[in-house]
Chain A
Amino acid sequence: MAGRPGKSGNTAAADQGFEGDTMTISTGNPIEGSMADPSRRAGMDDPVTAEAYMLPSGQPVQLVDPDGLHVHNDKYPLPDGEALLKAYRELVVGRRVNDQANALVRQGRLAVYPSSHGQEACQVASALCIGADDWLFPTYRDTVAVIAKGVDPVQTLTLLQGDWHSGYDPYEHKVSIQATPLATQLLHAVGVAHAAKLKGEDTVVVALCGDGATSEGDFHEALNFAAVFHLPVVFFVQNNQYAISVPLNKQTVAPSLAHKAIGYGMPGERVDGNDTAALLAVLGKAVDRARQGGGPALVEAHTYRMQSHTNADDATRYRTDDEVAEWAPKDPLVRLRAYLKELNVLTEELEEEIAGRAETVAAQMRDGLNAETEVDPEDLFRFVFTEKTSQLREQAAMLRDELSRESA
């Protein structure tokens, strides 16, 4: 991607990224996810062609650099101080949630934890870019995003605590059950958006997945469906460079994951995944566009999985400490903190208050997960069908009898 504009804003047609829903090609027709006239090529004086409109920026969008300095971008204004402060609060809580969950694994209170340490900016932005009535479709790695959207932390961790497959009501905060089978949830997100559209609701759906998951067939089917039905879905890929041990260059040889969007007829954009401000700006724009009827978009965040895939994984088998160390200075918390301090928005008192808030959440997690919970064996048979089959009634009775004899 040499020769593309860097930090100082983007001018080339190919760097338009996605704008609001008013973007037009030279025929004056709004681009509506349908294929534009393929004979129209991006010429120097031409208005933007469909292709150019759909291609991602030459470089990942960055609004605050690792040193905490603002980088100007014509297309993406910096979110205001209040929005950034709100996000910073969630970042600090998110980091604390990751640390606490790791500790709970070591103490045997959680079976396993796929940490999003280093990816907290993506986690927080994916929850904050939508409203209470919008849906989030998370994966196993998105615990922090789920909590940031309002779900109780202890309920969120039920899955990993091993009491049940999920501990929260998806309708309460419009957060679907965390998906483990990769990319499958993206199609469910498309379905929720389609139903909302048919019902005349202006819901937007943010669907999360990792870089590895983009290789699954379901990823491609989901993008195509969303584009063909012109649905308000923002596909948000956290490219953390690894699918367990497999690095991105074994996953794809495309110029970027965001480039995959154009093949389905939707805009793609890439963004610095450790830059909360850029994430809020880019996702915010995609969400607004989707809400206004502009159709789906694909956003790729460039970030890094700072820890092992889960505690059960040993990342030293496939990557070097040096590589990990390179990402440490790009930490999402450090840079937003520096920027907010510089702005004088983040005061000492506020920092203390935020740290206190994070501690409260951590304490809540410890209390909730250290408490001995009772599992009810009758639950095994309760939710398989609306009405228990006679076979299930028989099996439940058998287990009840067994247990009563055991306790006798």
Chain B
Amino acid sequence: MSTTMTFAKALNTALADEMEADRSVVVFGEDVGPLGGVFRITDGLTQRFGEERCFDTPLAESGIMGMAIGMAMNGLRPVVEMQFDAFAYPAFEQVVSHVAKMPNRTRGKVKLPMVIRIPYAGGIGGVEHHCDSSESYYAHTPGLTVVAPATVEDAYTMLREAIRFPDPVVFLEPKKLYFSKEQLDLEALQSRWGTPALDRTDGPEPTAAPADSSIGRAVIAREGTDATLITYGPSVSTVMKAAAAAAEEGRSLEVIDIRSIVPFDDETVMASVRKTGRAVVVAEAPGFASVASEIVARVQERCFHSLAAPVLRVTGFDIPYPAPKLEHFYLPSVDRILDAVDELQWEDA
């Protein structure tokens, strides 16, 4: 049965369903307990599963992250919330030196099946430190799986997959999407997971996610033939609007929602670019040394002979995220994306 659901509620439902299915899943962070998180993503979890399974910690991100590492080492599956993108930085040392490296340092003996949820990016008129696009820091750190859902269905599915994933996942939630809505057949989605009551606290036996896991797989969000727009997270909705506008002008643009930044789905991206021969990468983060740069490099290396034009980027400027009244100048806009498309050396130009 199809229902209307927000992105936030989908995440909340995914957490509840995983906690129901697996007793080793614990949720903690700042204000995630009785309050249900400042974005209400953990709403009702303490009430339903008890304070031992969903709880507030003292206010210290490094502490949260370090403790999660220990809990993951000892058979639990912590899902921690960093309250906002920029407030995850005090935990950076734990993330980079330990979350990312522990399995490598121990030759795979210690696995860290944990999820780091981060409300991220801008477009909400937030004041400083509440709008950072921090994906490049994480993507640049070998050992971290980094994903960013952009649809309500992916929010649900990818969070469940992330919790079951054998390695640590940085789960980026575009906060401007929290209250976006979609029609969803929740029961059908839920039924893909079966209803085993897992109890992995005695032995960390990860159950696989459904075979067609979205972690590592990009999706074609809109089919087209003339050029490929490659994007993820908060920029997907803007890019979809740009593609719709281009269609009215007679240009058929394919849109790829990367959704899994690491591992990166070369196959889907390259197949599309080989088909269209042109590409623009769109992302909200500053462009210099970014995920967008990486995507451009990969496309250029793999599709050189199919390309009719250089692969372009539309990104945030290389500046600190601006104050609310200036953010519209900064964010990739439909016009800026279409301008880039216009520059892809069309014969008719």
Contact = CB atoms under 8 A, between A and B. Distances in A.
Given A215-B63, A391-B288, A380 B329 contact: yes
Contacts of B61: 216
A317 B36 contact: yes
Interface stretch (A11-19, A241-249, A331-339): A241-249
B297 interface: no
Nearest to A251: B58
Interface in B280-327: 288, 317-320, 322-326
B284 to A, nearest CB: 15
Contacts of A245: 31, 33-35, 56
Interface stretch (B86-94, B97-105, B115-123, B211-219): B86-94
Interface string A235-260: 00000000111100011100000000
Contacts of B125: 111, 162
B326 A375 contact: yes
B319 A246 contact: no
B327 to A, nearest CB: 9
Nearest to B60: A215
B74 to A, nearest CB: 23
B59 interface: yes
Interface in B36-83: 36, 38, 56, 58-63
Interface string A256-287: 00000000000000000000000000000000
B317 A380 contact: yes
Contacts of A377: 326, 329
B192 interface: no
Most interface-central of A245, A373, A384, A389 (chain B CB within 10 A): A245
Contacts of B33: 245-246
B127 A380 contact: no
Given A159-B127, A182-B59, A399-B329, A218 B90 contact: yes
A299 B87 CA distance: 26
B223 interface: no
Contacts of B323: 159, 162-165, 375
Contacts of B335: 402, 406
Interface in A147-204: 159-165, 180-182
Dominant secondary structure at the B interface: loop
A212 interface: yes
B266 to A, nearest CB: 28
Given A162-B125, A317-B35, A217 B60 contact: yes
Contacts of B324: 111, 162
B330 interface: yes
A212 B31 CA distance: 11
B18 interface: no
A395 interface: yes
Given A215-B59, A215-B60, A250-B56, A384 B320 contact: yes
A379 interface: yes
A213 interface: yes
A179 B110 CA distance: 38
Interface string A376-388: 0101110010000
Q: Which of B36, B59, B60 has the most CB of A within 10 A?
A: B59
B181 interface: no
A216 B326 contact: no
A392 interface: yes
Nearest to B328: A377
B66 to A, nearest CB: 10
A378 to B, nearest CB: 10
B58 A250 contact: yes
Contact of A246 (B59, B63, B89): B59
- Which 6 pairs between the two chains have the least Cβ-Cβ distance? A162-B324, A245-B35, A215-B58, A212-B59, A215-B59, A165-B128
Interface of B: 30-31, 33-36, 38, 56, 58-63, 86-87, 89-90, 125-130, 288, 317-320, 322-326, 329-330, 335-336, 339
7 contacts: A165-B128, A182-B87, A245-B56, A377-B329, A381-B317, A384-B319, A395-B318
